[in-house]
Every structure is written in C-alpha cells, then in structure tokens.
Amino acid sequence: MSGICEGRVVAVTGAGRGLGRAHALAFAAEGARVVVNDLGVGLDGTPDADSPAALVVAEIRAAGGEAVAHGGDIATTPGAASLVATALDAYGRLDTLVNNAGFLRDRMLVNLDEEEWDAVLRVHLKGHFLPLKHAAAHWRAEAKAGRLPVARIVNTSSGAGLLGAVGQGNYSAAKAGVLALTLVAAAELARYGVQVNAVAPAARTRMTERTFADRMAAPGAGFDAMAPENVSPLVVWLGSAAGSGVTGRVFEAEGGRITVMDGWRRGPTSDKAARWTPTEAGETAQALLKQTPTPEPVYGQ
C-alpha cells in the first residue's frame, strides 16, 4: 500500500471498534503499519468475551497491509509502555500515536458515584497521559541521539469536553482535561519533533448510538453523515508528515464538516489597579457580561 502515511508506524488505542477501528483501517489504507490496541471491554469498561483487536488486524492484512495487535491496558504504566514496545519490536519505530480508547458511565451528578467518576477519568484522561508519556520519552531519546523524529500525537476529545453534556459530568471533565493536556504536550514536545493535536468527533459508535439514533442514514442516501469513517481522514492527515507546523490545535469533525475550535480567549476586561469591593466587583462583572456573547448551551440542556 502507498499513501500519505507510507513508511510510518502508527499506534491506535481502542482500535477494535468504532472510531478507533475506522482510524486503524484508514491509516493502513494510506500505507502505515498499525499497532491495533484494544483491551476488549464492554461499553461500561467491563471485560468482553472476545477482544476485537485481532479481527481488525486480520482486516488490515487481508487488504494487503501490515498490523499487529496489542491487548494491554493503556491506563496502566506497564500497558502503555508495552504499547510503545510492541511498535518498536514489530517494526523498529513509532511515528504516530492516536489516543482514542474510552467508555461511558453516564449519570446525573447527584447519582454519580466515586467509582464511576474514577473509572471514566482513568480510561479517558490517564489513558491519554500514559501512552503519550511513554511515546514522548522514546521520541525525546531519539532527538537527543541526533535522530529528530517527525512524530505526531492525535488525542480524542469530545463536544462534551468543549461545551459540557448533561448527564456526563465525568466524561465532560475527562474530555476537557484531554484538551488541556494537548496544549501542554504541544508546547513541551515541539523541541523533540512532536506535534500534538486533538479532535472532537461526532460519529455513531457503541458509545453514541442512542445519542445519534435519530440521525441514521436514509436507505440509498449514499452518505451516512454519522459514520465513524468520516472522522478518520482528518485524523490520518494530522498523524502524517503532511501537516507540518500544525500543533496545539483542536478540530471538530462530523460528517463532511471540519471546524477549527477557537478555545478560551480573553474577552472584555476591566482593571481598577486596586482592590474591588464585592459590590464593585459584581457591578463590573455585570457590565463586562453585557459586552460578551452568550455562551453556547451545554449539550442536552
């Protein structure tokens, strides 16, 4: 196979189903050799009977590509370290990391227990940090040895991380954390030849099939706007060498639409150059809010 990722080695977490599977297949179609990570768990993070990673590897190989499976838990240090080691052992290099693994445990805040909070932050936020850390350590060593990499990290956030989502306090917090981690990683790792970006996808997967149930493709329409495969082209481009200079950015991707998200920017401000009284602070805040656009609503509000 040949394409914009020819010769690159790409590790994709949570690649057994949904978006991760679509990304793995798309990278392989563009010439990448792929490490397909999937722990093989259910929607709520409990163990599944059959891990799908091997099935995705078989699909890639059947199409003439190269891939290996990795079944480690990337939210643990051994699992994340072995993900990088698998790429190096199988192919002698790692060029791109796509952090995608995750699951949901949705509850309204008053019903959300500590275990459900911890489990979701663990897989989404810690599951981004640890693979990123171990891949970055490898690339830093390469750079210090005089072999500056052309490395890429693509993180997976969500509209819930950008705007919040009712019933998803744990997921929204984790995905907002992914955005901040992306910005920090892009700033810290640039010197080592690493570009780091994030995508907030909207697609129909096991996690979102109920959310997007009313947006199914019409029979014979020819284009399913909610298919996960629609998100993968942007992820592949961000994971290739082609996007040189693009780092620390966040994109929304849905159907045929790509949007650059603008993030937090300072709006109207007032500086007294002295301490406010509470009444003055309140009056000033109200005046500033009148100059500020109304925020976009939280999903589900």
Instruction: Using alpha carbons, select from 76, 100, 82, 86 the residue that is nearest to residue 9.
Output: 86
Residue with tokens 């590897």: 57
Backbone angles phi and psi of 66, in degrees to 5: -120, 135
Q: Does the active-site annotation cover 299? A: no
Q: Which of 157, 171, 172, 192 is catalytic?
A: 171
Query: Cα–Cα distances in Å, from 269 out to 98, 144, 292?
Result: 38, 44, 10
Rounded Cα–Cα distance for residues 236 and 242 (Å): 10
Q: Does the active-site annotation cover 171? A: yes
The amino acid present at 62, given as its one-letter code, is A
Q: Which residues contact 235 (CB under 8 A, 6 or more apart)?
A: 23, 26, 98, 154, 199, 253
Q: Which of 175, 192, 232, 240 is catalytic?
A: 175
Q: Does the active-site annotation cover 175? A: yes
Q: Which of 82, 126, 157, 158 is catalytic?
A: 158
Q: Beta 66-70 vs 33-37: how paired, if at all?
A: parallel
Q: Long-range pairs for 111-120 at CB < 8 Å and ≥24 separation?
A: 112/169, 112/170, 116/170, 117/169, 117/170, 119/45, 120/170, 120/171, 120/174
What is residue 34's DSSP assignment?
E
- Provide the annotated active-site residues: 158, 171, 175
